[in-house]
Structure 1
Amino acid sequence: MTLRFATRLFAALALLASTAVCAQPTPAAAPLDIRLEHDTEAERTTADELRAVVAAYDVEEWIVTREVRIDASAIPHSHPVLTLHTRHNGQPLHLLSTFLHEQFHWWVMERPDELLAATTAFRRAWPEVPVGGGEGGRDEESTYLHLVVCHLEYQAMAALVGADEARAILESNNHYRWIYDRVLNDPQVDRIVRGAGLSVDEGR
């Protein structure tokens, strides 16, 4: 954990613990609606760390759904409810990366034309892609979709914590390995996603 992040995280945790009301909440800053599937200590820890890291970093423009479920027994997924596990307790930046990954599934659904343009270009670039086995998505369509989502995840994390730290976080994943390798090492992915009109850094 970097010193800069530790300072931000401490400040965010202190803010969460405070009972003072400093300002009226606005719709843009509405809190996450977090539900614990089993209400265990691990799930409560994940919820606290998620609130803190979201407060510490400027991610508001990428939040589409505020409904979040914490389920220690589940694989993270985006729909129908954004669901996170407890695996990243004590690793708030990994938790943030996973949270943003699932948010970007919602984000791209609001941009269907751009998403179609990107996945069509990926099909031309890679007519055959891995499926399952820790390398790709559950099917070909999922693999092409995740080239977009994982690219957006990387770009967002790079904007927040720097390219080197973002790379290290994504390289540590033991899923979507082929996809993350393309995202991190093939400039073609960036050109295709941006060329389709999908960019996380517009206006930042």
Structure 2
Amino acid sequence: MKGIKAALFTLFISQVAAAEIDVSLANGTEKEELKRDQIFRLIEQYDLKKWWFTDKIIIDESARSPFSHPVLTLKASMPNNDHAGLSQLLHEQIHWFEGARKEEVDNTVAELRKIYSSVPVGFPDGGRSEFSTYLHLAVCLMELDSLTQILGKEKAEEVIATNGKYFYKWIYKTVLQDQAQIREILKNNRLYI
């Protein structure tokens, strides 16, 4: 399949709410194929339906970083590190959950601002904006909790701590340090999976 500009693969997955998953390869490269295989492997291995909010995924080796909208797009990185791949996939799916809950997000961010009056903006510590940093406190807490339910607490915290060595450093550190407090804020604002 090398050389194909775009390949569309559809897979019927009963674990993910019996949904059709469309995974497109932006460039049809071998790395993108390996990442696609990883996604299917993760879906087959774990019950992800609780955290599944969009069935359309693009894998793009040339993407600077993964992003959730308008179409969930993953980099072709780490196709052999399933825990990192699972973390990346869940993180972007959680953005879809939050994207449908503007009022809950706004209330959560307002409450987080009271606790964290000054947050970092920009790589490697924060999000693209102040709002994005606050939003990512919520996303990354739910990423941690989803990984905990799937992999167990110790492995989930290890994955999150590893992520925090490379990006969202302040966010991941804060999530690990203040997880109970952040979780309570999310639950109180009906922004928790």
Give runs of ≥4 in structure 1 deviating > 4 Å: 23-27
Structure with the higher fraction of residues in strand conformation: 2
Residue type at the aligned position of 1:83 = T
Determine which of 168, 176, 188 is the counterpart of 1:176: 168
Tell me if the contact between 1:68 and 1:82 (Cα under 8 Å) persists in the aligned partners. Answer: yes
Give yes or no for contact 2:24–2:59 (8 Å, CA) kept in 1. Answer: yes
Equivalent position amino acid for 2:105 in 1: L
Contact 2:16 2:43 in 1 (8 A): no
SS of 1:35 mapped into structure 2:
strand
Q: Secondary structure at the match of 1:28?
A: coil
1:144-190 alpha-carbon deviations (Å, 9 max, x no partner): 11111111111101011011101111111111110011111113212
Residue 197 of structure 1 corresponds to 190
Q: TM-score, normalised by structure 2?
A: 0.87
Rounded Cα–Cα distance in structure 1 between residues aligned with 2:187 and 2:14: 34
Given the superposition, is the C-alpha separation of residues 110 and 34 from structure 1 closer, same or farther in structure 2, using an over 3 Å criterion? same
> Structure 1 103/26 Cα, relative in aligned 2: closer, same or farther at 3 Å?
closer
How has the CA–CA distance of structure 1 residues 131 and 58 changed in structure 2, closer, same or farther, with 3 Å as cutoff?
Answer: same
Equivalenced residue count is 178
List gaps (5 residues or longer) in structure 1: 1-22
Q: How does 1:50-69 map to 2 (within 5 A)?
A: 50-69=39-58
Identity %: 37
Deviation at 1:113, TM superposition (A): 2.3
Task: Name the aligned partner's letter for residue 136 of structure 2.
Answer: H
- Of 110, 126, 133, which aligns to 2:116? 126
What does 1:29-68 align with in structure 2 at a 5 Å threshold? 29-68=18-57
CA RMSD in angstroms comes to: 1.9
- Give the TM-score normalised by the residue count of structure 1: 0.82
Change in 2 beyond 3 A, CA 1:26/1:86: closer
Higher normalized helix content (fraction of residues): 1
Distance 2:137 2:16 in 1: 31
Q: Tell me how far apart the structure 1 counterparts of residues 54 and 123 of structure 2 sit (CA, whole Å).
A: 29
**Aligned equivalents of 1:101 and 1:192: distance in 2?**
19
Structure 2: which 5+ runs fail to align?
1-11
Aligned-residue offset at 1:25:
6.5
Q: Secondary structure at the match of 2:24?
A: strand
Secondary structure of 1:169's aligned partner:
helix
